[in-house]
């Protein structure tokens, strides 16, 4: 490679700015030139983008060099898939600059939801050589007519931030689009396409590559940068450890300690776990340090697009000192001025924490700095666990979706809206993707019947004409313009909650809040959004009209979703850390600080060792409590608690109320809970798991909730655009209605089956539950009794009371409970 003209040209260009390629970049170029597909994995700031972007350019320069005569104008050469629209804009700018400096006359086009119609038309006439596109827009491209020739010059498709797409249905969109483009190219030339992914470190990189490029005949490689990114993780340690940590403080008690950190940094990003927490932090920081006004901003998914754009631009130019944000800033282009990151509360997973840390200190030899702000004392151990995980590279896997029929159905209609498709060819293509490698011929046939006849073969409906066979060319097509238009509007797999836009009476959008929250507002009520205090006036034309309010006392909207459970990877490391606090000599600051708390725990009941599992039976005035600590995350605990409750109730009639957090769960009853060393193994047994789960929770109700997204993606429910009125009132319906209809009349419906499967895997997390129960079964279960709450049980207890009490009542009651715990201890 090194002798090739293309490589020399690129090298010369790098030299002019005193740079030279990293070994992993050369490795990538070399592999590319040899025809490999692959995944590049390198820390942020090391030029992952260039490693892949320059490869097809070197190849192109080499080709050009070999050809003397001028050939026809080059078409689309490279498709660059990005998960975020905001990424595309800045990437395109950087690519254009590079091409200009390299003196290559390629153009770079961006195509996503924001691209204007005229630009789309222009692209249709003359494709740019590099096209930056989101997975949804790529499908929209396939939904156009006469697209086959577009890919005649295509040599490379890149999936940027592939780890982000991998575990989602958007990743499946990418898989399907790739399968079709490969098919189109195969039918027209004998070229093979090279497919490259760019990914952060995840636990299953090999699988990530398999998903992206499932073809067996193609040579594949994972290129890892050997450079290591330095990350410094610093906990913000409270002056005094509260002996009884209660969760959900939001961490604002420690906010004072944040001020000097922000002051001495250039720009700080403060990550919170939820949007409402971000709003509260914003208000609080402003209160304790009013000088930040004007230098502080808030960024989350419910803030108006324009406003977010402005904040992102301001981050680039460095005029902001601090931005409070949520996962909305996890991804995206690097903000050069950001040199410090703060994580408030548990990040729930190692990968996410490291990704956030990587948002600071971008250039290769800088150190990323991240501060961890615990919201209660036990979270300090989480950061200790993450430090260990970062050292040993125990990063979570991203599980790819398997057999999402809703996405397949949407995709088939997409193809039918475009040039039409041959079902035999497309079946083979789809079957070759990772997501649908287990697809059965009869399942595909069912999907075909669903979109062509409106149901299974036994009930063909003459009036159903969604996708029809064109007798002339034998392709399946959508002929109704109305159906085609509606389908194009809803291509994609992101289903949003019913959200309403918030607008000032005097004009100007602020953001979005959930319909559910709006329904509880009365005119004159005040709430916080985008860091502003607003007074609700009325709802008109799907807009929430507000005016500015000067009142201090406001409520913060809560947004649904977004509460990720603790990853099982982090849970495992955390269990180990817990066992080490009292037993080992350690130098970790976090473990030392927390020691008195664990000594209290040990004096009341026990601190479990690594091979132990603690179950506490605690009797208080309130009743009889059972606490258990599997560290498997909220979702698993919810099901496990219901399961254990059910199994105990089979021994004797007894009623429980249930509470849980990411660390453990509580069962509470007014009767004494029958429990001994034998029973405890029985109720935590992995035997008869599925049967007992079905008996203990309402799976149908849960599946119904999962069906909501499925109905939208498969096109059963038309959502329209957020904030826009729906025109087709008479075909509006709710997904739960469809669910009931299919349950009663069409029980073999694959979408229905998918809802139950998704519930099983993603909500019940049954496989994870099974593994947890097997682990518990093999451990020593330590059963302890006490007459007061322990430091471990206290956060769960407090969390369960939060839902039913006002904050004043809650504070008072917690103080009383604390007093109880310390009684007679000395």
Angle at 630 between CA 626 and CA 632, to 5 degrees: 130
Interaction between residue 468 and another protein (CB under 8 A): no
Nearer CB in complex with another protein: 463/471: 463
3-state class percentages of the chain: helix first, strand second, coil last, to nearest 5: 45, 15, 40
Distance CA(475)–CA(416), nearest Å, equals: 8
Interaction between residue 464 and another protein (CB under 8 A): yes
Nearer CB in complex with another protein: 130/484: 484
Q: What is the closest distance, in whole angstroms, from the C-beta atom of residue 565 to another protein in the complex?
A: 17
Q: What is the closest distance, in whole angstroms, from the C-beta atom of residue 478 to another protein in the complex?
A: 8
Nearer CB in complex with another protein: 485/770: 485
Distance CA(692)–CA(753), nearest Å, equals: 20
Interaction between residue 520 and another protein (CB under 8 A): no
Nearer CB in complex with another protein: 55/467: 467
Q: What is the closest distance, in whole angstroms, from the C-beta atom of residue 726 to another protein in the complex?
A: 13
Nearer CB in complex with another protein: 57/636: 636
| CA distances in angstroms from 793 to 148, 631, 657, listed in the order given | 62, 13, 15
Q: What is the closest distance, in whole angstroms, from the C-beta atom of residue 93 to another protein in the complex?
A: 41
Interaction between residue 515 and another protein (CB under 8 A): no
Q: Is 230 helix (H, G, I), strand (E, B) or coil?
A: strand
Q: What is the closest distance, in whole angstroms, from the C-beta atom of residue 362 to another protein in the complex?
A: 44
Interaction between residue 446 and another protein (CB under 8 A): no
Q: Are 773 and 686 in contact (CB under 8 A)?
A: yes
Q: What is the closest distance, in whole angstroms, from the C-beta atom of residue 584 to another protein in the complex?
A: 41
Q: Greatest CA separation found in the chain?
A: 95
Interaction between residue 392 and another protein (CB under 8 A): no
- Sign of the alpha-carbon dihedral angle for 528, 529, 534, 537: negative
Q: What is the closest distance, in whole angstroms, from the C-beta atom of residue 735 to another protein in the complex?
A: 10
Interaction between residue 92 and another protein (CB under 8 A): no
433 DSSP 8-state letter: S
Nearer CB in complex with another protein: 342/750: 750
Nearer CB in complex with another protein: 698/780: 698
Nearer CB in complex with another protein: 252/417: 417
674 DSSP 8-state letter: P
Distance CA(56)–CA(78), nearest Å, equals: 8
Binding to another protein (CB under 8 A) within 640-659 occurs at 657-658
Applying CB under 8 A, which of residues 392, 393, 603, 734 lies at the interface with another protein?
734
In 3D space, the residue among 816, 320, 717 whose CA is nearest the CA of residue 490 turns out to be: 717
Q: What is the closest distance, in whole angstroms, from the C-beta atom of residue 459 to another protein in the complex?
A: 6
Interaction between residue 498 and another protein (CB under 8 A): no
The piece of 36-44, 392-400, 477-485, 541-549 that touches another protein (CB under 8 A) is 477-485
Q: 189-194, long-range: CB within 8 Å, 24+ apart, which pairs?
A: 189/152, 191/155, 192/35, 192/218, 193/154, 193/155, 193/156, 193/157, 194/32, 194/35, 194/36, 194/37, 194/56, 194/155, 194/156, 194/157
Distance CA(780)–CA(447), nearest Å, equals: 49
Distance CA(629)–CA(666), nearest Å, equals: 9
Applying CB under 8 A, which of residues 5, 14, 227, 483 lies at the interface with another protein?
483
Interaction between residue 804 and another protein (CB under 8 A): no
Interaction between residue 739 and another protein (CB under 8 A): no
Distance CA(490)–CA(714), nearest Å, equals: 10
Interaction between residue 742 and another protein (CB under 8 A): yes
Interaction between residue 450 and another protein (CB under 8 A): yes
Binding to another protein (CB under 8 A) within 680-709 occurs at 698
Q: Are 578 and 791 in contact (CB under 8 A)?
A: no
Distance CA(337)–CA(267), nearest Å, equals: 6
Interaction between residue 716 and another protein (CB under 8 A): yes
Residue 560 CA, distance from chain mean position: 14
Interaction between residue 745 and another protein (CB under 8 A): yes
- Helix (H) / strand (E) element for 793: namely helix 793-802
Distance CA(13)–CA(19), nearest Å, equals: 9
The piece of 296-304, 316-324, 453-461, 756-764 that touches another protein (CB under 8 A) is 453-461
Applying CB under 8 A, which of residues 393, 437, 459, 694 lies at the interface with another protein?
459
Interaction between residue 480 and another protein (CB under 8 A): yes
Interaction between residue 454 and another protein (CB under 8 A): yes
What are the tokens at 712?
């939208």
- Sign of the alpha-carbon dihedral angle for 816, 822, 824, 826: negative
Interaction between residue 455 and another protein (CB under 8 A): yes
The CB density around residue 125, as the number of other CB atoms within 10 Å, is 6
Angle at 591 between CA 585 and CA 594, to 5 degrees: 125
Interaction between residue 496 and another protein (CB under 8 A): no
The piece of 59-67, 79-87, 531-539, 727-735 that touches another protein (CB under 8 A) is 727-735
What are the tokens at 769?
């539950």
Applying CB under 8 A, which of residues 466, 637, 708, 768 lies at the interface with another protein?
466
Q: Is 808 helix (H, G, I), strand (E, B) or coil?
A: helix
Applying CB under 8 A, which of residues 242, 746, 766, 820 lies at the interface with another protein?
746
Applying CB under 8 A, which of residues 363, 393, 733, 780 lies at the interface with another protein?
733
- Sheet with 322-325: list strands edge to edge: 230-235, 367-373, 338-344, 267-271, 322-325, 296-299
Interaction between residue 731 and another protein (CB under 8 A): yes
Q: Are 732 and 718 in contact (CB under 8 A)?
A: yes
x/- track of binding to another protein for residues 598-637 (CB under 8 A): ----------------------------------------
Interaction between residue 457 and another protein (CB under 8 A): no
Nearer CB in complex with another protein: 198/467: 467
Nearer CB in complex with another protein: 1/658: 658
Per the document, the length of the chain is 826
Interaction between residue 462 and another protein (CB under 8 A): yes
The piece of 71-79, 295-303, 447-455, 804-812 that touches another protein (CB under 8 A) is 447-455
Interaction between residue 489 and another protein (CB under 8 A): no
Interaction between residue 744 and another protein (CB under 8 A): yes
- Residues at the contact surface with another protein, assessed by CB under 8 A: 450, 454-455, 459, 461-466, 480, 482-483, 486, 657-658, 698, 715-716, 728, 730-731, 733-734, 737-738, 740-742, 744-746
């Amino acid at each position: 490679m090194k002798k090739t003209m293309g490589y020399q040209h690129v090298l010369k260009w790098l030299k002019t700015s005193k740079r030279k390629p990293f070994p992993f970049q050369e490795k990538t170029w070399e592999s590319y030139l040899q025809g490999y597909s692959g995944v590049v994995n390198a820390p942020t700031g090391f030029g992952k983008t260039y490693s892949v972007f320059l490869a097809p350019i070197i190849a192109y320069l080499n080709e050009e060099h070999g050809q003397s005569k001028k050939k026809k104008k080059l078409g689309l050469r490279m498709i660059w898939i990005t998960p975020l629209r905001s990424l595309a804009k800045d990437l395109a700018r950087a690519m254009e600059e590079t091409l200009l400096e390299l003196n290559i006359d390629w153009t770079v086009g961006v195509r996503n939801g924001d691209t204007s119609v005229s630009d789309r038309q222009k692209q249709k006439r003359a494709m740019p050589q590099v096209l930056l596109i989101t997975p949804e827009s790529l499908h929209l491209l396939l939904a156009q007519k006469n697209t086959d020739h577009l890919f005649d010059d295509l040599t490379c498709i890149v999936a940027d931030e592939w780890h982000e797409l991998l575990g989602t249905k958007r990743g499946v969109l990418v898989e399907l689009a790739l399968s079709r483009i490969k098919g189109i190219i195969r039918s027209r030339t004998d070229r093979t396409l090279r497919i490259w992914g760019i990914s952060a470190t995840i636990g299953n990189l090999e699988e990530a590559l398999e998903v992206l490029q499932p073809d067996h005949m193609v040579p594949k490689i994972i290129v890892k940068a050997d450079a290591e990114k330095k990350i410094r993780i610093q906990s913000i340690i409270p002056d005094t450890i509260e002996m009884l940590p209660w969760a959900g403080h939001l961490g604002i008690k420690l906010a004072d300690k944040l001020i000097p950190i922000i002051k001495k940094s250039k720009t700080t990003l403060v990550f919170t776990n939820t949007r409402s927490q971000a709003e509260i932090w914003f208000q609080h920081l402003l209160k304790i340090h009013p000088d930040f006004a004007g230098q502080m901003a808030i960024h989350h998914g419910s803030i108006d697009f324009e406003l977010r754009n402005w904040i992102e631009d301001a981050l680039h130019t460095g005029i902001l000192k601090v931005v409070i944000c949520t996962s909305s800033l996890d991804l995206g282009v690097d903000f050069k001025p950001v040199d410090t990151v703060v994580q408030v509360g548990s990040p729930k997973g190692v990968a996410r924490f490291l990704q956030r840390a990587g948002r600071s200190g971008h250039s290769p030899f800088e150190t990323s700095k991240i501060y961890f702000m615990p919201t209660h004392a036990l979270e300090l151990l989480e950061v200790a666990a993450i430090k260990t995980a970062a050292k040993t590279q125990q990063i979570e896997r991203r599980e790819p979706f398997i057999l999402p029929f809703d996405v397949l159905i949407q995709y088939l209609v997409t193809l039918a809206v475009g040039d039409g498709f041959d079902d035999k060819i497309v079946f083979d293509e789809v079957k070759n993707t990772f997501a649908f490698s287990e697809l059965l011929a009869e399942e595909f046939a069912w999907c075909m019947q669903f979109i062509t006849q409106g149901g299974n073969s036994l009930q063909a409906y003459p009036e159903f004409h969604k996708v029809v066979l064109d007798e002339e060319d034998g392709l399946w097509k959508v002929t109704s313009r109305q159906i085609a238009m509606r389908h194009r509007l809803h291509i994609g797999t992101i289903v949003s909650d019913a959200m309403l836009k918030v607008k000032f009476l005097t004009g100007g959008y602020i953001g979005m809040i959930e319909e559910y929250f709006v329904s509880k507002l009365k005119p004159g009520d005040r709430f916080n959004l985008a860091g502003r205090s607003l007074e609700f006036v009325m709802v008109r034309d799907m807009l929430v009209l507000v005016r500015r309010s000067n009142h201090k006392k406001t409520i913060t909207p809560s947004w649904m979703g977004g509460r990720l459970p603790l990853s099982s990877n982090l849970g495992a490391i955390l269990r180990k850390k817990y066992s080490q606090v009292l037993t080992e000599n350690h130098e970790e600051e976090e473990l030392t600080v927390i020691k008195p708390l664990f000594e209290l725990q040990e004096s009341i009941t026990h601190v479990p060792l690594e091979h132990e599992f603690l179950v506490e039976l605690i009797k208080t005035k309130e009743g009889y409590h059972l606490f258990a600590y599997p560290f498997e995350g909220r979702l698993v605990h919810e099901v496990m608690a219901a399961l254990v409750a059910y199994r105990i109730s089979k021994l004797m009639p007894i009623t429980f109320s249930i509470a849980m957090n990411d660390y453990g769960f509580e069962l509470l009853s007014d009767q004494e809970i029958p429990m001994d060393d034998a029973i405890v193994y029985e109720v935590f047994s992995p035997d008869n798991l599925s049967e007992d789960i079905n008996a203990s929770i309402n799976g149908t109700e849960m599946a119904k909730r999962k069906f909501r997204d499925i109905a939208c993606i498969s096109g059963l429910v038309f959502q329209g655009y957020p904030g826009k009125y729906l025109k087709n009132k008479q075909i509006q319906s709710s997904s739960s209605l469809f669910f009931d209809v299919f349950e009663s009349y069409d029980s073999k419906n694959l979408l229905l089956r998918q809802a139950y499967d998704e519930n099983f895997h993603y909500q019940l997390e049954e496989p994870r539950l099974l593994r947890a129960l097997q682990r518990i079964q093999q451990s020593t279960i330590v059963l302890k009794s006490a007459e007061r709450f322990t430091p471990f049980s206290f956060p769960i207890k407090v969390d369960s009371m939060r839902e039913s009490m006002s904050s004043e009542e809650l504070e008072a009651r917690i103080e009383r409970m604390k007093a109880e715990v310390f009684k007679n201890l000395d």
